[in-house]
Structure 1
Amino acid sequence: MFQDISIEKLNDLRSKNEMTVIDVRSPSEYAESTIPGSVNIPFFTDEERAEIGILYKKVSTQAAKERGLEIMSAKLPAFVKRFAEIKGNKTVFCWRGGMRSRTTATVLSLMGIHVNRLDGGYRSYRKWVVETLEQVEFAPQVFVLHGNTGTGKTEILKALKEKGYPVVDLERLAGHRGSIFGEIGLKSNNQKTFDALLLEDILRYRQEPYILIEAESKRIGKVILPEFLINKKEKGTHILLEAPTSLRVSNILNDYQPEEHAEQSLQAFNQIKSRIHTPIAQEIEESLLTRQFGRAVELLLVYYYDPRYAHTSVNYGDEFARTTPIRFETMEDAVEQVERRIEELIYRDGASNKVQTSV
């Protein structure tokens, strides 16, 4: 017979890579939000779930159960086979640990396949995420990368993470780059997905002496940062980046690939067009229409993003104003200089014995 498993036990096993988590909810439920890293083996398709829901509401609970049994019986062999193909320990969950996960675990048990069932289902997991983010005590110091649009902050963080630095890439977790053009070429995450992914990073790095993040506003695309992280960012140690406009243009073209998303780029520009001096806005629009994307990006930087950045930077106070910027001509040089700055900051703060734990 199957066993119920708590959120705490499941998280412990997941952290040790000793558990495969399987979401038996419908594909649309899974796409909307799930436990990070879980596999979707749906008990019902979206259409089947909708049909049974109508029977439950308009006919009776018994009619819904009978139709559910009829649907499931026809596809049971293929359903069980998919579970049999997954080796090792397995935990299944549905919305609230009800019929779908209970039936799945019972049938698999009868077929000699042992699985655990998450107590309370996804609803209990979501509750745990929200409560933990509200109560978490996060000790690491925060080093915050600042810089005008296009200075390659995200690229630098990615390179540093590959080197073993404790990086929380907020834009990656949000599936959004943070600007009006930020969703182009990406699939933005909702708040539930962002919170789950963020919490995994927060718990992973909570014993580190510091983490690295990018300076972001409170909202990134569809999601809002938790208050504790905003406070940590504001009290963090600032690392300011400066790069020539030509490199920034090149970085943006490489990242956004506007030639593949010309229509989306134009639509995004139309949302900010009225905020830019009319002759400049007209030239930007013409550049986008004639696929002169480099020129359009350069004008957006000079006449829209740079002035906005200068305006918001004053909110960081005198310490930020006195920060010595890191100036670079190539992204390789940027990564090397940021690494050196991090080492200087760690030694300055008397944490030199902790450097090797983070890199």
Structure 2
Amino acid sequence: MTSHSALQETDYQKIFLSGVALMDTRAPVEFQHGSFPTATNLPLMLDDERAAVGTCYKQQGQQAAITLGHQLVSGDIKAQRVASWLDFTRRHPDGYLFCFRGGLRSQIVQQWLHEAGVDYPRIQGGYKAMRQFLIQTTETAIYNHDLLVMGGMTGCGKTELLAELPNAVDLEAHANHRGSGFGRHATRQPTQIGFESRLAVDLLHKQQQNWRQLVVEDENQTIGRCALPPCLRDRMKAAPVIWLEAPADERLERVLKDYVIDLRGEFIQLLGDAEGQHAFAEHLLDSLSRISKRLGGLRYRQLLKKMQQALAHDDFTASLDDHRAWIQQLLQEYYDPMYQHQYRQKADQICFTGDGKAIRDYLSHLRSR
């Protein structure tokens, strides 16, 4: 029979493609810096305990540090942590555990689980090896696939169209941000490492599906606070572009839905009616303030007045026309000129222009070639 210490997994591709749950036994501060899409943080040591053990290791050596660690995580504390690990293994019997390098911390967690009656596999090489695997996956996928970039004016429906394409990579979904000054969601963005991990796992799936070409939305170097990997950024700069077109009134209604109706709903669902409405209003005002220098003083004051008028309504439904007013001015005087300039800059790269149906037909033809 296989001993518990031999229960190790090194097939990182299988781990990420399966989407199984992962138990991240690193300290909370390490987890907050970045982990993997299906990981849950159930640490062996909390931040202060890890810091104390680290100091001991530097001053007195490994054995003294190990002894201190066992002293800090003992008795009721140990029992509580083992209980949380056992609960995880019951809920995710096909999962894995890992620490930073697949070393002492994950070995101890695996040993204590074994003593509690559960043999659970750990990932050899741990977080560091899996992180390197995902970085390499991204670079390989980007350079081994043809890339097609989808551009278009604000509100033309790029995100909706990408959702219909089986070979699309939705960068904004991975970054939890819509990519503009008003693009933040009610929930936080992932860390840079979290963003890169989500992207890499998506690319891994696309590789398995044998797509020859990938479609991404035209983005700046950063989506909110998440920076595109350099290899992707460089390929996007030189890739052919398809330009999605939509009527102005359709674009206005889509922006109203995305940045007002739906976003307000996000905040209310997260925080409740009163606090959610307040947070939504603060979000809009802050988003406008962030682009105030680029708007110029007069235009900023005009938009601010219209936005405040919309937010002053007690009846949200009655406020929609006032929201349309500031959105229309923002589109016409700020976003449209910006995207028209981008269109002219990318003129030599644009290989197709059309509405949603025309682009779907065009891409379907490309995939069938």
SS at the partner of 2:91?
A: coil
What CA distance in whole angstroms lies between the structure 1 residues aligned with 2:229 and 2:15? 26
Higher mean displacement: 74-83 or 307-316: 74-83
The letter for the 1-side match of 2:13 is N
- The residue aligned with 2:326 is 296
- The residue aligned with 1:312 is 342
- The residue aligned with 1:323 is 352
In the TM superposition, residue 78 of structure 1 has moved relative to its aligned partner by 1.6
Do the aligned partners of 1:138 and 1:202 also contact (CA within 8 Å) in 2? no
- The residue aligned with 1:255 is 258
Q: 1:272-299 CA deviation, whole Å, 9 max, x = no partner?
A: 2122243322110111222233222211
CA shift in 2, pair 1:111/1:179, >3 Å? same
The letter for the 2-side match of 1:325 is G
- The residue aligned with 2:362 is 341
- The residue aligned with 2:25 is 24
**1:1-359 equivalent positions in 2, closer than 5 A:** 1-3=4-6, 5=8, 7=10, 9-16=11-18, 19-50=20-51, 52-53=53-54, 64-73=65-74, 74=76, 75-76=78-79, 77-136=82-141, 138-158=143-163, 160-161=164-165, 165-206=166-207, 207-257=210-260, 259=264, 260=277, 261-290=280-309, 291=311, 292-320=322-350, 323-326=352-355, 334=356, 336-346=357-367, 351=369
What CA distance in whole angstroms lies between the structure 1 residues aligned with 2:256 and 2:142? 39
Please tell me the root mean square deviation across aligned C-alpha atoms, in Å: 2.8
Aligned residues: 333
Q: 1:159-199 CA deviation, whole Å, 9 max, x = no partner?
A: x15xxx12200011122222222224242223211221111
CA shift in 2, pair 1:15/1:51, >3 Å? same
CA shift in 2, pair 1:318/1:35, >3 Å? closer
Do the aligned partners of 1:140 and 1:211 also contact (CA within 8 Å) in 2? yes
What CA distance in whole angstroms lies between the structure 2 residues aligned with 1:83 and 1:274? 50
> Which TM-score applies when normalising by structure 2?
0.79
The letter for the 1-side match of 2:354 is P
In the TM superposition, residue 71 of structure 1 has moved relative to its aligned partner by 4.2
The letter for the 2-side match of 1:82 is D
Do the aligned partners of 2:152 and 2:158 also contact (CA within 8 Å) in 1? yes
SS at the partner of 2:73?
A: helix
Q: 1:37-83 CA deviation, whole Å, 9 max, x = no partner?
A: 12332223345444545555678766654453244332425234324
- The residue aligned with 1:357 is none
> Which TM-score applies when normalising by structure 1?
0.81
CA shift in 2, pair 1:80/1:227, >3 Å? closer
Structure 1 unaligned residues grouped into runs of 5+: 327-333, 352-359
> Percent of aligned positions with the same letter in both sequences?
29
Do the aligned partners of 1:3 and 1:117 also contact (CA within 8 Å) in 2? no
Higher mean displacement: 295-304 or 226-235: 226-235
Do the aligned partners of 1:184 and 1:265 also contact (CA within 8 Å) in 2? no
What CA distance in whole angstroms lies between the structure 2 residues aligned with 1:169 and 1:325? 20
